[in-house]
Amino acid sequence: MTPLIEVRGLRYRYDDGTEALRGVDLTVYPGETVVLLGANGSGKTTLLLHLNGLLQGEGSVRVCGMDVSPPTLRDVRSKVGMVFQDADEQLFMPTVLEDVAFGPLNQGFPPDEAAARARAALAHVGLGDIEHRAPYHLSAGEKRRAALAGVLAMEPEILILDEPTTYLDPPAQRSLVKLLVNLPQAKVVATHDVRFAAALATRALFFDKGQVAREGSLSEIVELFRWDWDA
Amino acid sequence: MHHVVVEQWSRRHSFVHQRDARAKLLVALALLAALATSPASPVTAVPFALLVAVGIVAARLPLVSMLKKAAVVLPFSMLFGAVEWVAGQPLAGAALLVKSYISALTVLLLVASTPQPALLRGMESLGAPRLLVLMAQTLYRYLFVISEQAQHMRLAAVCRQGSAHRSQRRAFHAAAGALAILFARSYVRAEGIHRAMAARGFAGEFHSLRPPRFTRMDAVFAGVGSAVAVLAHLLVSHA
């Protein structure tokens, strides 16, 4: 099977000298949900930002058979949908519908089709009735769903989710799990929430100091690193 | 939040709201030019004030709230008006004050009756520099970010204030520190927003779900509105 994501020997150093990634390898196949665990600052988000071309470090990053580099960024960003940790950063248009249609319009779809895609994505995440509301008036759960709809409207092959349960109460978390489980895309999820991870993960990676310290099933990782404080 | 209220006003429905942004921009420019070049007397501004008031009523916007919001320009124009006064031209100073206020009201009417994406698209299609339009678009989005950050910081400060009666000096120090932190936080937040925009394919151009359409009614509106502004100018110039 051809992998959707192939990362080899990825290294990245921020401007302040912090070495965030120190030779990371990652392979993701269609249908997989790979969960990234690890402490704050261990490199999870930095890796995710590379998958969408928002950061470019040393090493190789291939997505859907394309090298992630400036000439391929437009195509890469159509294939890789990224949901950020803070939904407020992702919702910046005056209405929910305009925000969700932002991606399809950038992809070059005409306004009618972009609106149709946006409405379909909003219906998919259960927000079909709030398309004319302002994003800053939504609840945390609705914001997260609207942010996800904004990505789904672009019909990506891969979903990247950075700490998707942040600010969500337990019912909203359960609702998000149900939604994500039924999405066909391959997913890479960075999270600290082991229960949330357990509901989704087909495989887990543990990050430590910019490296993948261990790869395996979620239960192996949790056991090895005693990552779940409820255990 | 001031900009949230204006944003909500801009999404109302009225004859003025329905007009294409370019038509409204042309009328507003004609009115501003006619007002600026009219004789320097506060009385000559009266016909222009009436025109703007008619526009506010036609747009079904709250007149009193609009008058209050436009007053934000007064401290600045009072300063320059005072300079004219001291220079021995009190009439010119008063005219400057009145004209700047009516100008602010005109711009507020334009912004409050035109959704921001349509307004900026209209500016661009009328030849405004692309960089300027892009900066305005980005700045508008970051306004929400900055005001939200400011509210969070204010709440945190009130929670830790201890006493409601603080000296002016301490309050000034606290405000200065908060302003610096607000700038740093807003910068980081703005970076995050730009990153999220780039992740969804943003390449420097904002697209809209509603492409602009310049109808015959828009042409009539632009023609009649501009003509009335010029007539008002001729009236006050030859009175």
Question: Domain of A211?
Answer: 5-225
The percent of residues in chain B predicted with pLDDT above 70, rounded, is 92
The answer to whether the pTM exceeds 0.80 is no
CB A115 within 8 A of CB B209: yes
Judged by phi (left if over 0) then psi (alpha if -120 to 50, else beta), residue A221 lies in alpha
CB-facing half-sphere around the CA of B176: CA atoms within 13 A: 6
Residue among B141, B192, B200 whose CB faces A106 most closely:
B200
Taking an 8 Å cut-off on Cβ atoms, the answer to whether A88 and B148 are in contact is yes
Strand ordering across the sheet containing A19-28: A19-28, A5-13, A58-63, A66-67
Taking an 8 Å cut-off on Cβ atoms, the answer to whether B209 and A92 are in contact is no
Nearest 5 degrees, angle CA B36-CA B42-CA B46? 80
Q: Does B68 touch chain A (CB under 8 A)?
A: no
Name which residue leads in pLDDT, B212 or A185.
Answer: A185
Taking an 8 Å cut-off on Cβ atoms, the answer to whether A105 and B209 are in contact is yes
- How confident is the model over A23-50, as pLDDT tens digits? 999 999 999 999 999 999 999 999 999 9
Strand ordering across the sheet containing A33-38: A80-83, A158-162, A186-190, A33-38, A203-208, A211-216
- A230 belongs to a structural domain: no
Burial grade of B150 (CB within 10 A; 0-12, 13-18, 19 or more): middle
A106 to chain B: which residues are within 8 Å by CB?
Answer: 200-203, 207
Taking an 8 Å cut-off on Cβ atoms, the answer to whether A54 and B207 are in contact is no
Residue among B7, B197, B198 whose CB faces A92 most closely:
B197
DSSP state of A228: -
pLDDT of B66 over the 90 cut:
yes
Question: Residue B189 — very low, low, confident or very high, per pLDDT cuts 50/70/90?
Answer: confident
A111 to chain B: which residues are within 8 Å by CB?
Answer: 207-211
Sign of dihedral through CA atoms B200, B203, B205, B210?
negative
For helices A96-106 and A140-152, the axis angle rounded to 10 degrees is: 20
Q: Where are the domains of chain B?
A: 2-125+210-237, 130-199
Taking an 8 Å cut-off on Cβ atoms, the answer to whether B116 and A115 are in contact is no
Q: Give the count of domains, chain A.
A: 1
- A43 belongs to a structural domain: yes
Name which residue leads in pLDDT, B95 or B145.
Answer: B95
Residue among B115, B189, B196 whose CB faces A94 most closely:
B115
DSSP state of A129: T
CB B140 within 8 A of CB B4: no
- A115 belongs to a structural domain: yes
Query: What CATH code is carried by the domain that includes residue A135?
Result: 3.40.50.300
- How confident is the model over A66-120, as pLDDT tens digits? 999 999 999 999 999 999 998 888 888 878 999 999 999 999 999 999 999 999 9
Name which residue leads in pLDDT, B212 or A227.
Answer: B212
**A229 to chain B, closest Cα gap in Å:** 30
Type of residue at B39: P
- A231 belongs to a structural domain: no
pLDDT of B170 over the 90 cut:
no
What was the ipTM of the complex prediction?
Answer: 0.88
Closest by CA to A166, choosing from A5, A40, A20, A22, is A40
Residue A223 and residue A175: Cα distance in Å, rounded? 27
Type of residue at B151: Q
Interface of A with B (CB under 8 A): 49, 52, 54, 74, 77-78, 82, 84, 86, 88-90, 92-94, 97-98, 101-103, 105-107, 111, 114-115, 134, 136, 150-151, 154
Closest by CA to B195, choosing from A124, A101, A88, A12, is A88
Considering only alpha carbons, which residue of chain B is nearest residue A98? B209
- A65 belongs to a structural domain: yes
- A60 belongs to a structural domain: yes
What are the tokens at A190? 């960075």
> CA–CA distance from B157 to each of A195, B169, B173, B178 (Å)?
36, 16, 13, 9
Residue A158 and residue B7: Cα distance in Å, rounded? 35
